Amino acid sequence: MKLAVISCIHGNYEALNAVLSDIDAQKADQIYCLGDLVGYGPHPNEVVDTIRSLAIPTCQGCWDEDIVEGLNACECSYPSQIAEQRGKLAHEWTNNEIRPDVREYLATLPLSLKQDNLCFVHGSPNSQHEYLLPSMDGFAALERVLSVDADVLFCGHTHVPYVRELEDAKLSVTVKSPAQASDPQQFQASLKRLINAGSVGEPRHGRPNATYVLYDTETTQVTLREVAYDYEKTCQAILDSGLPSIFAWRLSRGMEFAERADDPSHVCER
């Protein structure tokens, strides 16, 4: 079975259409979406309508959550202060724009989806806001995959696609306590994978093309896809709709300097 996994569409209808056409051409059997349907982009309602009409199983992203719950503007929600300022503007615009039924739909989205040994989340199994960066400590990354009892964990949120293979894990624990003293307990894990689907509508890998991934459940082969589309049309729509022009600028470059996480594993103290 060939799966297509998409994420972080962010109200970019042009990019979504291009990716859906590419998925058709690749003859995928099933599409999964990892959330962030709205935010930043000019067409949140149209994107949600498309996802719903195709009945694509979808997880709730951090932007979807904020639209449902109201902006819970703690520093944890944003990777940096500049990102927070811009994010609030985009949130306000999106919040005014979306229809009530779209908000209701976003509220129904689950935090994770499972299919056999595959798990799908937006950020991480812990939180829609956690960034699983490829540079993350290998054991911490392995813990995220194991915590959902999966062999493959699909995530998004970072907007940069990657495949990370974790293998030959060996770990031991020795317990000393007044009640017991144990011999080392050995732990080993077989090959696990983290697959980041990138971003359909707000890519940050250095080019404006939309990205997503294909996964073959028979062969376990992963393909990172990069799809060209008319991003200038979306950029113009961003400007026309009154969204901050920086969103158009960065979309045209596929790069964001301000939203690199200062502390990607930040823990909320609230």
Partner 1 sequence: MKWAILSGIEGNLPAYEAVLQDIRRQAVSDLYILGDVVGLQGENEAVIQRLQSPRPGELVPQVCVGWWEEQCFSLHGVSGLQDAPELMEKYGGDGVKTLWESVSRESVRWLRSQHFGFHELDCLLIHGSTVSYADELTPDTPAIQLCDRLIRADANYLFCGRSGLTFECSVNPAELRSTVTTLDGVQEPQDHGKTPRQVIGVGSVGRIPGKSTYSLYSPENGQVSFRTVNYGKTKGFGTVKE
219 binds partner 1 (CB under 8 A): no
Query: What is the nearest approach in angstroms of partner 1 to the Cβ of residue 189?
Result: 7
Give me 3's structure tokens.
Answer: 């799966």
Query: What is the nearest approach in angstroms of partner 1 to the Cβ of residue 42?
Result: 26
Which residue's CB is nearer to partner 1, number 15 or number 142? Answer: 142
In the three-class reduction of DSSP (H, G, I as helix; E, B as strand; rest coil), residue 214 is classed as: strand
Measure the CA–CA gap between 176 and 132, rounded to whole angstroms: 33
Binding mask 88-127 for partner 1 (x = CB under 8 A): --------------------------------------x-
Q: Which sign does the torsion angle of CA 91, 86, 195, 168 carry? A: negative
* Amino acid code (one letter) for 9: I
Residues in the chain, total: 270
185 binds partner 1 (CB under 8 A): yes
220 binds partner 1 (CB under 8 A): no
140 binds partner 1 (CB under 8 A): yes
Q: Which stretch binds partner 1 (CB under 8 A): 65-73, 78-86, 133-141, 151-159?
A: 133-141
Question: 60, 112 in Cβ contact below 8 A?
Answer: no
* Amino acid code (one letter) for 225: R
Give me 221's structure tokens.
Answer: 């082969």
Closest CA to 25 of 208, 212, 221: 212
Under 8 Å CB-to-CB from 115, ≥6 apart: which residues? 32
25 binds partner 1 (CB under 8 A): no
Query: What is the nearest approach in angstroms of partner 1 to the Cβ of residue 181?
Result: 10
141 binds partner 1 (CB under 8 A): yes
Query: What is the nearest approach in angstroms of partner 1 to the Cβ of residue 145?
Result: 10
Residue 49: exposed, middle, or buried by beta-carbon count in 10 A (0-12, 13-18, 19+)? Answer: middle
Residues of the shown chain interacting with partner 1 in the complex, contacts defined by CB under 8 A:
126, 134, 137-143, 146-147, 160-180, 182, 184-185, 187, 189, 205, 211, 222, 224, 226, 265, 267, 269-270
